[in-house]
Amino acid sequence: MSDQTPALTSAGRAASEPSSAGRAASDPTSAGRVARNERIETPAPHEVATWQHRYTDALLGVFGTPKSVLVRGEGVYVWDADGTRYLDLLAGIAVNALGHAHPTLTGAIGAQLATLGHVSNFFATPTQIALAERLLALAGAPEGSRAFFTNSGTEANEAAFKIARRNRGEDGRRTRVIALEGSFHGRTMGALALTSKAAYREPFEPLPGGVEFVPAGDVAALEAAFQADGDGGRDTSTVAAVFLELVQGEGGVLPLPEGYLTRARELTSEHGALLIVDEVQTGVGRTGRWLALQDPALGGGVVPDVVTLAKGLGGGFPIGAVLTYGERVSRLLSPGQHGTTFGGNPVAAAAALATIGVIERDDLLGNATAVGEHIRSQVRAMIAEGALVTGVRGAGLLVGVQLAADVAAQVADLAQRDGFIVNAVSPSVVRLAPPLVITREQVQPFLDWLRELNVDPASRGLSLPTDDDLPTDEEPR
Ligand code: PLP
């Protein structure tokens, strides 16, 4: 999907536009001040491949070779360093809620930065306070609830883990934390301890202890976990918290079955344990509600003890949050027991307030619901039409397309070649998490593309199992 975008420089500007380095050379008042006679070269246009090479030589290899090098975004589209345009159906993995370069967001960030860019947590800012109030109101959190700000999802879960550790009970015996198989809570040591995937965990063991995994969606297994203490006897007061995602995003866009959360709430309440819901991926409008918890099918009216947020919250500006529900939970961490330099930064808070404001003003919750349903119904119709697509699931604009075989990575590569950014979240599942501003018309070219691929996958080199025993639409769990 190439369009007529002018050739871009390494910094992603049209070649005719002066680079900021170029401006600095001719404008001694500019921030990038340089010595008068120093010659600044505007970088020549670079190709994606060259940048990929430089990336590999300069950046730690934890992400592998990048799929492309992107230089610019506008709305639901991004452009790479070769000037190729893509429909961004991933939005930085559920982050760019307003799409790219939204004027309200960039304006709010610029205005806050020009007014007050950072203060230490010895002080507070009105922006930070307003955001805390706004989030607690959107969450419908009861009297006595509080917010804590972080810079990322993993940090929000670290804080939640520490809150769980403080829920020891009077005899100090509540030390077990129950997490679900298939979970993903982040890459720092505490969040990793809560994450089930062995390949992520094992290289870094020993991890913080006391975490036990139960099969996701299995009520009996959860009940059993509450009955067992470390010695195999019966002790109903050793669980400090249950951590879960309502839709396991990284796990393959897998919703928990209806009723599971309600039972988790009953068990945690009965035994004095905390119910901690990781809404890092599902929160801030992604599922068509402010929180997935507010979706009757996903949340079942449950009031949690702690919710963690990040990703979509700042619309692309890094910020995470922990919401503690009610007085008791909000007092578990006392002064000095946790902190952060950047968390609550006023620029990040301004970004989040602007993101929330636009979601509300433009009814992006309604849009996420409507466009998400449109995508799911179109993909559902494909199941009978071809051999590749066998199911679809998710909520709002978090969509998992189940494929007949482990070809999701190939499908994502083909999509990219044809101008669509999607993600192979598991070997047989393609994830879509587009900006919440996306319209039906904008997403339609991808749906048409997928329909064609579904009808004739072999024409694009996809080989699928030929027996009758193909996986079918999985029951949500
Ligand atoms: N929790 C969930 C449910 C996530 O999906 C992610 C990231 O994918 C995280 C936590 C970690 O967030 P971050 O990458 O911002 O640390």
Which pLDDT belongs to residue 45? 55
Token duo for residue 117: 């860019």
- Pair 111, 311: CB distance under 8 Å: no
In 172-273, which ranges are E strands? 176-180, 211-214, 239-244, 247-248, 254-255
| pTM score | 0.89
Token duo for residue 107: 């304006």
- Helix residue ranges, H only, 194-291: 198-201, 219-227, 260-271
DSSP-derived secondary structure letter, 439: -
- Compute, in angstroms, the gap from residue 437 CA to the centroid of ligand 1: 22
Atom of ligand 1 nearest to the CA of 250: 5
- Compute, in angstroms, the gap from residue 183 CA to the centroid of ligand 1: 10
Which pLDDT belongs to residue 468? 57
Single-letter amino acid, residue 8: L
Q: Whose CA is nearest to atom 12 of ligand 1?
A: 153
Q: Whose CA is nearest to atom 14 of ligand 1?
A: 153
Encode pLDDT of 292-348 as tens digits: 999 999 999 999 999 999 999 999 999 999 999 999 999 999 999 999 999 999 999
* Test site for ligand 1: of 180, 311, 398, most ligand atoms within 8 A of the Cβ: 311
Low-confidence ranges of the chain (pLDDT < 70): 1-46, 229-236, 467-477
Encode pLDDT of 250-275 as tens digits: 999 999 999 999 999 999 999 999 99
Q: Whose CA is nearest to atom 10 of ligand 1?
A: 185
Q: Is 45 exposed, middle or buried (0-12, 13-18, 19+ CB in 10 A)?
A: middle
Atom of ligand 1 nearest to the CA of 318: 15
- Pair 88, 112: CB distance under 8 Å: no
**Kind of pairing between the strands at 423-426 and 247-248:** unpaired
* Test site for ligand 1: of 90, 154, 200, most ligand atoms within 8 A of the Cβ: 154
Q: Whose CA is nearest to atom 1 of ligand 1?
A: 185
Question: Which protein residues touch ligand 1 with a CB less than 6 Å away?
Answer: 152-154, 157, 184-186, 245, 249-250, 278, 280-281, 310
**Kind of pairing between the strands at 389-395 and 420-421:** unpaired
Which pLDDT belongs to residue 116? 98
How far apart are the C-alpha atoms of 60 and 63, rounded to whole Å?
Answer: 8
- Compute, in angstroms, the gap from residue 184 CA to the centroid of ligand 1: 7
- Compute, in angstroms, the gap from residue 464 CA to the centroid of ligand 1: 32
* Test site for ligand 1: of 250, 276, 313, most ligand atoms within 8 A of the Cβ: 250
Atom of ligand 1 nearest to the CA of 183: 3
Q: Whose CA is nearest to atom 7 of ligand 1?
A: 186
- Compute, in angstroms, the gap from residue 185 CA to the centroid of ligand 1: 5
Which pLDDT belongs to residue 46? 67
CB atoms within 10 A of CB 362: 14
- Compute, in angstroms, the gap from residue 320 CA to the centroid of ligand 1: 10
